[in-house]
Amino acid sequence: MNKNYRIFYLDFIRVISIFLVMFIHVSAIDTTLNIGTGQWQIIKILNYFAHISVPLFFMISGALLLTSRKTSSLSYTWSHRIPRIMIPFLIWSIIYPFAASISTNSFSLNDIFITIRNILNHPTSPILWFMYPLIGVYILSPIIKTFIKSANMQMLIYTVFIWLITCSILPSIAVLLPKNYQQILTLSPVASFLLVGGFTGYFVLGYLLTKLKPEKINNLILMFVFLITGLTGSFVSQVIPNVFDSNNGYYVTSIWIPIMSTTAFILLRKLGNKITNLSVIKFFEFLSPLVFGIYLFHDLVIINVEPLLMKTITIHGVIATLMRYFIVAVLSIGIIWILNLIPVINYALLGNKSKKKKVNNIKK
């Protein structure tokens, strides 16, 4: 496969994923309003399908980091990669408590200090939960890379298989059982599979999928599996609300989401590899470096803009959700693009380095 195409399809998936993340957070309030109506049902289903976004981010990270030689270097990992996600995480962890207290007119330095003090145990903003497993897989990446070097395809499939059985399939079946019988399929915490569990599984899965040849897989079959698992998962989440636990573990423990994410990754990879229009390619390549910053920032836009939009937009239902979504997306992208142009700020807030100007060394 052509290297540029491989990089582009990952950029393509990354940009699609951030749009899905923004939709999850914009439509979250709509999943709690007018429950039972047709409009609510549509938004609820769309919101559930959009949950492939977070797994896709981890799969992209695995596809990139585990194919890079630099990942084996502890010094490179700790001097370059981890600071690029850790520094923005820490800064936004300070910004969000201040922003939240101002927007709710409940400014208290003491409360803000307590929130920030407990940062290791609890995110200062709900959207920052994503950073904890992300930092974890980055720290583990040299270990996983060392394993990947010596692992054949059979070993990689075995690893992912263990992950799916212990972390997804068993919990998914257990939650369907009567409460008194759920412990039958619940593993003891002592039998920890965390090294091949949690979001680390998506990390390895992303790398594995780059080694497979998806061209032979029929698109209609992939679409069918994606739609059926998504609709089933959405139905189960409504019938059994506690399937969505409070710590976002359902991204792993609900087997529907790993299946949806895998089929979506393959479909988007195939679609990305077919894109040849230069304008489309440039659009996704322009947005791709901004994705991390958009993720960290977009909830700040939602907090401050969405209440105003809810009051002023007289239209309701799916159209109103899409209107708010469009406004939040445009504002988030525009502001992050501007911040990305400012040296130092672009690294501190977005994890991006300023592009060095090319020097013409041709002698006249």
Instruction: For residue 72, count other CB atoms closer than 10 A to its CB.
Output: 15
Predicted pLDDT of residue 1: 39
Residues of the chain with pLDDT under 50: 1-6, 358-364
Find where tokens 């270097």 sit: 73
Alpha helices in the chain (DSSP H): 3-27, 38-49, 53-65, 74-76, 82-103, 109-117, 131-150, 153-163, 170-174, 198-211, 219-239, 250-253, 256-274, 278-287, 291-312, 318-340, 345-350
What tens digit of pLDDT does each residue of 252-307 get? 888 999 999 999 999 999 999 999 999 999 999 999 999 999 999 999 999 989 88
Contact in structure between 62 and 205 (CB atoms under 8 Å)? yes
Please classify residue 202 by burial: count the beta carbons closer than 10 Å to its beta carbon, then call 0-12 exposed, 13-18 middle and 19+ buried. buried
Predicted pLDDT of residue 241: 66
Predicted pLDDT of residue 358: 44
Q: What's the first-to-final CA gap in the chain, in angstroms? A: 40
Predicted pLDDT of residue 189: 64
Reported pTM: 0.90
Instruction: For residue 362, count other CB atoms closer than 10 A to its CB.
Output: 4
Whole-angstrom Cα distance, residue 93 to residue 99? 10
Whole-angstrom Cα distance, residue 158 to residue 161? 5
**174: Cα separation from own chain's centroid:** 26
Q: Where are the domains of the chain?
A: 3-350
Predicted pLDDT of residue 190: 64
- Amino acid, res. 303: I
Predicted pLDDT of residue 363: 37
Whole-angstrom Cα distance, residue 209 to residue 153? 11
Predicted pLDDT of residue 2: 42
Whole-angstrom Cα distance, residue 81 to residue 62? 13
What tens digit of pLDDT does each residue of 156-189 get? 999 999 999 988 898 888 888 887 877 787 776 6
- Amino acid, res. 124: T
Whole-angstrom Cα distance, residue 47 to residue 158? 32
Whole-angstrom Cα distance, residue 295 to residue 351? 12
